[in-house]
Structures are given as structure tokens and as C-alpha cells.
Structure 1
Amino acid sequence: MYTEEKITDPSPGPELFDALEKPVKIHKVVQEAILLAGGAVAILLQVAEPGVAQGVDNHSNFAYRPLDRLRTTMTYVYCVTFGTRDEKKAVVEMVHRAHESVNGPGYSADDPRLQLWVAATLYAVGIELYQEMFGIFEDADAEAIYREYSVLALSLRVTPDMWPPSQKEFWKYWNNQIATMDVTDNAKSVAKNILRNKEAPLQIRLILPLVRLTTAQMLPDRLRQAYGLKTGKIRRATYRFVMGFTKATYPCLPKTIRTYPMKYYMRDMRRRLENTA
């Protein structure tokens, strides 16, 4: 699914919160609800890193709280890209506090190396889905969006020099990660809780077969096999049909519908901040 992209205009290092207080190119991508369709893919990519897998499996509960996990993740992503300076500061501080207790032998949620990988998966999955729906970006726009995506990493513990300076360098880092990571029992446990969650609300359980299908096809071959997910001619054909239908219909939806999740989670975040003020 993910391969190194052609880059002709490498740009300098990423910019921080100041540049994100005005409308920027990343908003065009992050606001789209279609990115939620890659949620399970992003999580399985994240936990393919053993340290992330340990932290998630030992300190999270996807089986009983899938909607809470979604709420936490999307609140962070939307707030860091769309929030005011004070809102960003408040949400980042909440994330840091939540991460303080997520540690154990050989792993820590505050490890910048692990946080870099988590942010990288959000970029790779998000940009893939957006371009699948709306077409490939021009090189200059693609590079600008890539730089701006670094805020998801830099707002945590990742230092600017850790975020690859260009897309070309990013995909080198990405391909090396995919080729060398091991899918552990912790990762498989998380995958089972996501893809075969018998405790989830009914509306989630009803769509799990589709989630399993699309997740399996979107994962790189090496990781799909390591997770024990199936593929084949019929599954690949079904996936192509689903993506083709989605590509033909999703961009035609009114923008108010396509951006509803972003607006919903931003309102929810602001309501919670008001209650804690």
C-alpha cells in the first residue's frame, strides 16, 4: 500500500504551533471524515512496533471502550490541527498526564522514538486515504502538508530533528520500519480486540466484517501476514469495489457531512475544557 513517493522539491524542517493558528494546507486533509476509515489500519501499524504494542495492550482496553479510545485520539488530532493555542496547550498537557503511567519494562509512552512512529502512521494512512478519494497532490502542496503533519509528533516529545526533513526521507524511514518491525503477541491481542470485538456496541459490531476486509487489504503484505489476516482474489476484488464506490460517492457529499466528525469532536473538546476550567 505505502511506497516511497517521488519528491522534487524537498523543504526545510517542520513548523510548530504558530503556523497552525491560521488556515493551512493540513486542514484540507485532516477535516475529512474518510480518514476515520483508516483508524484500524493506523492502530495495527502503530502496535507493530513492540514498544507501542506493550503500552497499548497493557494499559488500554479496546474491548470494552472502543468509542472512548476513538474519542481520545480524534480529540487530540483535531485539536492540535484546528484548536486555538490555549486549546492545544490544554489537550497536549492532558496527553502528557495520561502517558505518565504508561510504562513498564522496555517501554514508555513518553519515548520519542515510539511517538514518532505513531505520528508517522497517522500521516501515512491519512494522506493515502485522502489522495485515494481526491487525487494526488502537486509536489509543492504534498511537501507543505507533510511538514505541517509533523505537529502531531512535535506537540508531544518528538524533537524537530527526529521528523524526517522531506517526504523522500520519510518514506525511507517508513519502509525501513515496515521491513524490520515484529508483530508480537501484544500486537495480536490489540488486533483481536479491534477487529473481533464482541463487547463493542451493536453498531460497531455490524461493520466489523467490512473493517476486517479493508484493514487486511490496506496493510503492507508483511504485516498482514504477521497478523494472520486473510487476502485472496475475492477479498481483493471486494476491496476494489468498496474503494471504487467510495471514491465515486464520498467527494460528492456536502462538506458539512464530510467534516461533521471534526466539528463534533471539537465541540466535545471545548465543552470538556469549559467544565474543567
Structure 2
Amino acid sequence: MTVPDTQSDHQATARDEIDSSDLTMLGAAALAGPANVIMQLAMPAVGYGVYESRVDSGNLFKHPVKRTRTTLSYLAVAAMGSPSDRRAYRRAVGRAHARVHSTADSPVAYNAFDPALQLWVAACLYKGWEDVQHIYGDPSIISEETYRAGAVMGTTLQVPQHMWPATRADFETYWQNTVSTLEIDPPIREHLLAIARMEFAGPVVSRLGGWWSYIMTIGFLPEDFRDKMDVEFTPRQQTIFDVHNAIVRRVVRHLPKPLQQFPFNVLLADVRRRIRTGRPLV
């Protein structure tokens, strides 16, 4: 089945124009990835969409390396790619999303093409970008301009530009209003805790590194999401998180730009190579 781009020529041109900004990603953002996943999946329709997904190739617990690559590649393409990169990735993700929809037995209704759900995911990704700039990067670059550029987190898929809140103040209102409605059901909570403990990487990796992954994940998680997950963060865990971040921040700020952007720059190059050679993107 071929999934169309669903845009007229005029709309595609407009999308190219709004997708032309470069929102450079710091590689350290990958450390906050699991926490961002929890934020995204805290919306029930998104959480069950992932939990019940019939697309095995995108299942983190069945294909952890591939799923990690495709997720980080999406961020690289959305934030740093060209309009043609985004179009190619949109088509590839669209083919996978075509199979992600609720059934009669699903606890909630969902459809991966729903722009309202995609807007929430995009909002989480942008929020994560800001948090990473505060912790590891340069908070002074956060502005209305970079916020508007952040719309690419959603417009790279099916979120129309007009759905992206117009200003950072509007975004904050959208964020607070949405967060107040979120509830995490027990099956989704257990799924998310398994991600935090790196259980998708196998028992050995989870046993050796799960404790550290848990600290990083809950550390990056905003307080209201910790409450929704019913998890605590002890003073000792907070100290480990803070010391770790202080070390990483010092290292990142002294690296040359290509190393600051790793692995996102390498993943973007890989996406472009896959496009040239006709290999699957997702």
C-alpha cells in the first residue's frame, strides 16, 4: 500500500518553507530519550498505540537497535535535515503508521495519523530539546525563533503548521492544559518502567546498566510525570544525576561541533545514504 504525502503542491511548498530551519541537536540529547518516551506515551492514545502496535519491526523490545536508530534518525532529519530528507522520511514513517490504529478491543481509540496525537509527540520532543539546552548546551539560544523552528518536530509528519502553538507562551498553556488531562494506566506504566530499566536490551545489560538508565530516565522526567508514574527519586539518585550532568556538560562544551552533534550528524548521513541507495529508512 502506498501512503501519499497528503499535501497539494501549494501545501508542500509551504511545508518546505517552514521546514527549512536547522535546529541543531546535541548528541547528549539521547540521554534524555527514555524520559521523553515516557512523556509521549503518557497520553493514553499514544501509549496504547505503541503498546498494541502490530508493526513488529518498530517494536523496541523485539528490535532494540533498529528502533533506537529509527527514532534518533527521525530527530536528526526533523531538526537538521533538508526538506527533501523530511519528505522521504515522512513517506517511510507513513507506511509504518498506516498499520497503527485501534481495534474494537483497544482500551482507547487511536490512529497514528491523528495530527492531535502527533502534536503531543512533537511537543514532547521540543520540550526535551529545551531541557537539553538548559542542562548541556546554551540556554541563551532558546528564543521565539528557535521555538518556531521547533514546529518541524511535528510538520515533518502530518501536523499542519497552524496547529503548532504560535508563541512560547501559547505552547506553555497547551502543555499545562494537556499534562493535566494525562493518566497512565497500569499496563502502560509497567511498559514504561521496563524501558527505564533497559529491559529491552536483554537481562545482562539490564542487570548491569538498568540502575543507571533508571536514574537518567527519572532524573530527566518532570515532577508531574513522576507523580503520574508513581515513582520516587531519592536524594542519592538526584546527586548521581546532577554529578553525571555536570561532567557531561563540561565535556560537551569543550568538544568540536561535529562531536557535539554525534550521533545525530552520523544518523543524518546514514539516512541520506539509505535514500540514495534505496535502502529502507524505517
Change (3 A) 1:235 1:193: closer
Q: How far is the alpha carbon of 1:19 from its aligned partner?
A: 5.0
Q: How far is the alpha carbon of 1:250 from its aligned partner?
A: 2.0
Q: Answer yes or no: is 1:271 the counterpart of 2:273.
A: yes
Task: Report the counterpart of residue 140 of structure 2 in structure 1.
Answer: 137
Q: Is the 8 A contact 2:112 2:118 kept in 1?
A: yes
Q: Is the 8 A contact 1:25 1:144 kept in 2?
A: no
Task: Report the counterpart of residue 6 of structure 1 in structure 2.
Answer: none
Q: Structure 2: how far apart are the matches of 1:250 and 1:260? A: 11
Task: Report the counterpart of residue 17 of structure 1 in structure 2.
Answer: 16
Task: Report the counterpart of residue 3 of structure 2 in structure 1.
Answer: none
Q: How far is the alpha carbon of 1:205 from its aligned partner?
A: 6.1
Report percent identity of matched pairs: 25
Q: Is the 8 A contact 1:119 1:150 kept in 2?
A: yes
Q: Answer yes or no: is 1:43 the counterpart of 2:40.
A: no
Q: Answer yes or no: is 1:92 the counterpart of 2:90.
A: yes
Q: 1:81 aligns with which of 60, 79, 82?
A: 79
SS in 2 for 1:156: coil
Q: Answer yes or no: is 1:168 the counterpart of 2:191.
A: no
Q: Structure 1: how far apart are the matches of 2:222 and 2:184? A: 13
Task: Report the counterpart of residue 261 of structure 1 in structure 2.
Answer: 263
Scaled by the length of structure 1, the TM-score of the pair is: 0.84
Q: How far is the alpha carbon of 1:220 from its aligned partner?
A: 2.4
Q: How far is the alpha carbon of 1:152 from its aligned partner?
A: 1.6
Q: Structure 2: how far apart are the matches of 1:217 and 1:253? A: 24
Q: Structure 2: how far apart are the matches of 1:269 and 1:25? A: 16
Q: Structure 2: how far apart are the matches of 1:111 and 1:217? A: 30
- Structure 2 residue runs of 5 or longer lacking an equivalent are 1-13, 104-108
Change (3 A) 1:145 1:249: same
Q: Answer yes or no: is 1:146 the counterpart of 2:147.
A: yes
- Structure 1 residue runs of 5 or longer lacking an equivalent are 1-14
Change (3 A) 1:217 1:196: closer
Runs of 4+ in 1 over 6 A off after TM superposition: none
Please list the CA deviations of residues 171-192 of structure 1 after superposition, one character each: whole Å capped at 9, or x if unmatched: 1111122222001234214313
Change (3 A) 1:20 1:107: closer
Q: Answer yes or no: is 1:26 the counterpart of 2:23.
A: yes
Task: Report the counterpart of residue 48 of structure 2 in structure 1.
Answer: 54
Paired letter, 2:147: Y
Task: Report the counterpart of residue 124 of structure 1 in structure 2.
Answer: 127
Q: How far is the alpha carbon of 1:44 from its aligned partner?
A: 0.1
Please list the CA deviations of residues 93-135 of structure 1 after superposition, one character each: whole Å capped at 9, or x if unmatched: 1111111100014111111111000000000011111122234
Compute the RMSD of aligned alpha carbons: 2.2
For this pair of structures, how many residues does the alignment match? 256
Paired letter, 1:113: A
Q: Answer yes or no: is 1:236 the counterpart of 2:234.
A: no
SS in 1 for 2:52: helix
Q: Is the 8 A contact 2:198 2:209 kept in 1?
A: no
